[in-house]
A and B are shown apart, each in its own frame.
Chain A
Amino acid sequence: MIVVGGGTVGYYMSRDLLERGHEVTLIERDARRAEWLETQLGSIVMRGDGCEVKFLSQTGIERADAIVAVTADDEDNLIALQMAKRHFKVKKTIARVNNPSNVEIFKTLGVDEAVSATEVLLGALEPPITR
């Protein structure tokens, strides 16, 4: 599994996936954040830009069964996953989206699964609050 983005979501996801026995590579762009992640998770952390083909090719992406993009920027998640799909033929691409209307847009643009935390939280309010 490849996880793009080592923020809070990416960190806990990677930790969980490791505990479940998966082989994980966590990609983080910021050097200081990557250093901290490495102290927590070990050598699975790679510092670099998950949207760059050259960098991705060094991450073992060809062997990945799935790639999950969970940065805070929808556009970065989209481009990382499109690169993974089109260049490296990764079978399953999963995105975190921040803007709920991007769920459908991402699917149209070739992402297999798009999950909106905003939408999940709104769903938790169902049945809708009525006055």
Chain B
Amino acid sequence: MRPFRSASDQPPGSPAPRWVGAGALPPYNQPALKLLIVGCGRVGSQLAAEMDRAGHEVVIIDRDPNQFSRAASRGVLTNDFKGNQVVGNGTDADVLRRAGVEDADGFVAVTEGDNRNIMASQIAKHIFKVPRVVARIYDPERAEAYEKLGLHTICPTIEGAKAIEKTLLEKK
């Protein structure tokens, strides 16, 4: 369930409403971002669809072409997705370059492999100087180590456990 109504609730092709709230279209409060997402699993495809609907320019990369059709069959990356889908290895600088990493505003690495996410993010951050880079790292130790090195990391293991713990301890 979406907490606020937004332009994305409108059928594709309809004019953007003026009343948009928290999930506002970028032109009203911020410019559209060019975003590169590596990994078309559940998180990657969901994020790609959301950011695309919010008006951002999205390129999603996966080395397995079947991942795109899987996402489509889950109803996530459907025909109305306006972004680009690139088949290739997200730790390969040439693949990233072809996907437009050189003018990307944001970069997200959410493949199944912690090491692949770390490597892809470091290439984006240190080689291509992408201003906003986020890496998902399941291993808490590795996440902490790379957070200390200045990589923005999300550790679903710790965050998930914390969220569950909070729910369990909440007073009714």
A interface vs B, CB < 8 Å? 51-54, 73-76, 78-79, 82-83, 86-87, 99, 101-102, 105, 108-109
Contacts and interface: CB of A to CB of B under 8 A. Distances in A.
Q: Which 10 A-B pairs have the closest CB atoms?
A: A75-B119, A75-B115, A79-B115, A75-B116, A76-B115, A78-B119, A101-B93, A75-B91, A109-B122, A53-B141
B interface majority secondary structure = helix
B12 to A, nearest CB: 37
B113 interface: yes
18 contacts: A51-B142, A52-B142, A53-B142, A54-B141, A74-B91, A74-B119, A75-B113, A75-B118, A78-B118, A78-B122, A79-B115, A79-B118, A79-B119, A83-B145, A87-B145, A101-B92, A101-B93, A105-B123
Interface string B110-121: 000111101100
A104 B27 CA distance: 39
A78 B115 contact: yes
Given A73-B115, A74-B91, 13 more contacts: A51-B142, A52-B139, A52-B141, A53-B141, A75-B119, A76-B115, A78-B122, A79-B114, A79-B118, A82-B149, A86-B149, A101-B93, A105-B127
Interface in B101-117: 113-116
Contacts of B127: 105, 108
B149 A51 contact: no
Contacts of A108: 126-127
Contacts of B116: 75
B159 interface: no
B80 interface: no
Contacts of B115: 51, 73, 75-76, 78-79
Nearest to B118: A79
B91 A109 contact: no
B147 interface: no
B94 interface: yes
A53 B145 contact: yes
B88 to A, nearest CB: 12
A102 B115 CA distance: 15
Contacts of B93: 101-102, 105
Given A79-B118, A105-B127, A99 B92 contact: yes
Contacts of A86: 145, 149
A94 to B, nearest CB: 17
Contacts of B119: 74-75, 78-79
A108 B124 CA distance: 12
Given A79-B118, A108-B127, A101 B142 contact: no
Contacts of A73: 115
Nearest to B122: A109
Contacts of B145: 53, 83, 86-87
Nearest to A54: B141
